[in-house]
């Protein structure tokens, strides 16, 4: 998934299809810029992936840059420390912006929209604001001094096949494949769906190339035994792909 979100069209599909519409509709996606890098200090030991993009939004006549900090959470279980992790990651990113001269304390810090993209089989139940982890709730005279940072959650597994079908984008097709990975028949149906989406795309050759490379890595993680090197196009090699899916063990794997 990290590879897919290195392309601006997939970031746009994520925002338009799965983020709050009142936010997405303010964004000028032609201004998307990739700022991904290693901003995180080694406070946490677990493996994670993140991508950072900036995009211009216009609100009440004012245009400004907003950073999309997207954390890809592919653990099989819910991480209840996520609010703490996000606070750390956002603080490290702000520190990076100050150190490289993107902004200064006097100019102020740019707004950030933290997003957690989760594809585990268990539904996400962790708190979404670090303030909600402060328990018992502090008295009123202390509440103003408590930390607040909320992230927006995209929990792939909570979307039904019908809901994903209403979003005919390659990214929703990827979500369908990840949801169906425990079932070979469902996986084949999801692949057929994403092929149809690609064929309807005005930029089908480019999207086909991107999704094919992603899917080859994904099938290898699911345990595909056959050699996938000859798979170069989902649109042209559907029969070869079907043979690979037929022999994938019936299990769920995480995608990186």
Q: pLDDT digits over 51-74, tens only? A: 999 999 998 889 999 999 999 887
- pLDDT given at position 198: 92
Residue pair 250/183 in contact (Cβ under 8 Å)? The answer is yes
Which run of H or E residues covers position 172?
helix 170-179
Residue with more model confidence, 255 or 3: 3
- The domain boundary, picked from 124, 141, 158, lies at 158
CA dihedral 125, 130, 136, 141 (to 10 degrees): -150
The residues, ordered by sequence, that sit 6+ positions from 50 with a Cβ below 8 Å of its Cβ are 36, 39, 40, 69, 70, 71, 72, 89
pLDDT score at 225: 58
Claim to verify: residue 121 and residue 136 sit in the same structural domain: yes
Residues 6+ apart with CB under 8 A from 171: 4, 10, 13, 14, 17
Kindly report which listed range (20-24, 120-124, 225-229) carries the lowest average pLDDT score: 225-229
If asked whether residues 138 and 218 sit together in one domain, one would say: no
* C-alpha to C-alpha distance for 243 and 225, rounded to whole angstroms: 10
pLDDT at 50: 86
How many distinct structural domains can be found in the chain?
2
Q: pTM of the prediction? A: 0.87
Pair (127, 229) in one structural domain: no
**CA atoms within 13 A of residue 22's CA, in its CB half-sphere:** 0
pLDDT at 31 over 80: yes
In this prediction, residues 189-211 reach a mean pLDDT of 91
Same domain for 150 and 178, yes or no, is no
Report the DSSP pairing between strands 152-155 and 49-59.
unpaired
For the chain, the maximum distance between any two Cα atoms, rounded to a whole number of angstroms, is 66
Show which of 158, 173, 193 is a domain's final residue: 158
């Amino acid at each position: 998934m990290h590879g897919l979100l290195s392309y601006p069209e997939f970031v746009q599909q994520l925002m338009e299809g799965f983020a709050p519409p009142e936010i997405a509709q303010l964004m000028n996606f032609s201004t998307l810029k990739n700022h991904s890098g290693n901003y995180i200090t080694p406070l946490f030991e677990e493996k994670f992936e993140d991508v950072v993009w900036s995009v211009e939004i216009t609100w009440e006549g004012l245009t400004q840059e907003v950073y999309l900090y997207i954390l890809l959470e592919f653990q099989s279980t819910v991480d209840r420390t996520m609010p703490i992790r996000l606070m750390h990651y956002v603080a490290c990113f702000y520190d990076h912006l100050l150190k490289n001269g993107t902004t200064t304390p006097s100019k102020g810090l740019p707004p950030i929209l933290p997003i957690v993209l989760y594809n585990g089989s268990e539904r996400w139940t962790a708190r979404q604001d670090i303030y909600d982890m402060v328990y018992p709730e502090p008295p009123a005279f202390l509440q103003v001094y408590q930390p607040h940072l909320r992230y927006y959650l995209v929990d792939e597994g909570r979307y039904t096949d019908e809901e994903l079908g209403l979003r005919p984008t390659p990214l929703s097709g990827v979500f369908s494949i990840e949801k169906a990975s425990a079932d070979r028949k469902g996986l084949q149906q999801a692949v057929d769906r994403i092929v149809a989406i690609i064929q309807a795309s005005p930029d089908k050759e480019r999207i086909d190339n991107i999704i094919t490379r992603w899917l080859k890595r994904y099938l290898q993680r699911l345990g595909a035994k056959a050699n996938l090197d000859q798979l170069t196009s989902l649109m042209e090699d559907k029969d070869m792909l079907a043979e690979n899916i037929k022999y994938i063990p019936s299990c769920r794997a995480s995608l990186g």
